[in-house]
Amino acid sequence: MPLNRQIHLVSRPAGQPGLENFNLVSSPTPALAEGEVLVRHHYLSLDPYMRGRMNDGKSYAQPQALHQTMIGGTVGEVMESRNSGFAAGDKVVGMGGWQEYGLVSVAMTGMLRKVDDSRVPLSAYLGAVGMPGVTAYYGLVHIIAPKSGDTLVVSAASGAVGSAFGALAKARGCRVVGVAGGADKCAYVVDALGFDACIDYKQHADAASLSAALHAVCPQGIEGYFENVGGMVMNAVLPLMNAFGRVAVCGMIAGYNGVPIPMAAPQLILMQRLRFQGFIVSEHPQVWPAALAELGGLVASGALRARETIAQGIESAPQAFLGLLSGRNFGKQLVKLI
């Protein structure tokens, strides 16, 4: 059986994570038992939610166990199967973790999904046509629920979730404004993704300045806001929300390292009768088929041209993850494992 290299979490970070929190280990993959499937992972997904799992505290999911393989989405190929539902050569997506091979037990094969890479690149099933894309879909369709002509804003607009949100919103006739960090990211959001405008938050020292820039491109206010960041960006957007606006809260990356992210004017929720709703997309399996079908069509047609940053080799995963948390990636952060 092949040797499997894995990244384990060996200590919990206090504040900003570091390379010392991770360790690369190797072990042989065990022989398959009846009902099991061996998958060779081609790509590993790195996502901001992983930072929260590194903490040992109350959350919507159990903390990442120490000295165990880090959790993470993977896409790859079945190398060997003793399960009638899968055959060698099948392309599959699942939660294989930070490792080169995944042994999927009969109890977990329901979490392994076959995918078709003839029209959609395999890596896209971890981004635009995967969890990030479905996250954008749920927040847009089921929380913001826009009408054609509505003005929507999304933070982290150049990322995997933000780019999918823009394509889905434009397909519904909305005006879409992004917030991103850096002139190159903003240019990509407008020129490649088709947003109507994008504001570079790095050009603004405080929420008031950023809010003024947003007002210039949203003069009639904002009907819907998709929140990935929190902090200064959220405090810039809220004063521009129109009455009965909707805010879908997907992430708060500004506070993932334990930094407080206070809301500057919570009274706006009452004054503007805003609807705030946080959500975890894995809790809504009923929306995945429709979401994946629409997202796959957008990617196949070229309407969604999501960018990827790809690190090479399992040993690069910790450094790439730290870069993701500090915004050094451009688009979806992946690790190529073959």
Q: What pLDDT shows up at residue 59?
A: 76
Q: Which ranges of 238-331 would DSSP assign to H, the alpha helix? A: 267-271, 288-301, 317-325
Assign domain 3-127+306-336 to its CATH superfamily: Medium-chain alcohol dehydrogenases, catalytic domain (3.90.180.10)
Q: What is the pTM of this model?
A: 0.91
Cα–Cα dist 14/98, whole Å: 22
Cα–Cα dist 263/270, whole Å: 13
Neighbouring CB atoms inside 10 A of 11's CB total 14
Q: Which residues of the chain are under the pLDDT cut of 70?
A: 256
Q: Which CATH number fits domain 131-282: 3.40.50.300, 3.90.1150.10, 3.40.50.720, 3.40.228.10?
A: 3.40.50.720
Chain segment 248-269, per-residue pLDDT in tens: 999 887 776 777 788 899 999 9
Cα–Cα dist 4/27, whole Å: 5
Going across the sheet that includes 151-155, the strands are 197-200, 175-180, 151-155, 222-227, 241-249, 275-278
Q: What pLDDT shows up at residue 184?
A: 95
The gap between the terminal CA atoms of the chain, to the nearest Å, is 17
Q: Which of 108, 136, 81, 63 is nearest to 292 (CA)?
A: 136
Q: Are 150 and 223 spatial neighbours (Cβ–Cβ below 8 Å)?
A: yes
Q: Which of 202, 183, 195, 204 is nearest to 226 (CA)?
A: 195
Q: Give the CA angle between residues 104, 105, 109 to the nearest 5°.
A: 70
How many CA within 13 A on the CB side of residue 95?
A: 13
Q: What pLDDT shows up at residue 27?
A: 93
Q: What pLDDT shows up at residue 111?
A: 86
Q: What pLDDT shows up at residue 210?
A: 98
Chain segment 9-36, per-residue pLDDT in tens: 999 998 899 999 999 999 999 899 999 9
Q: What pLDDT shows up at residue 236?
A: 97
User: Where are the chain's structural domains?
Assistant: 3-127+306-336, 131-282
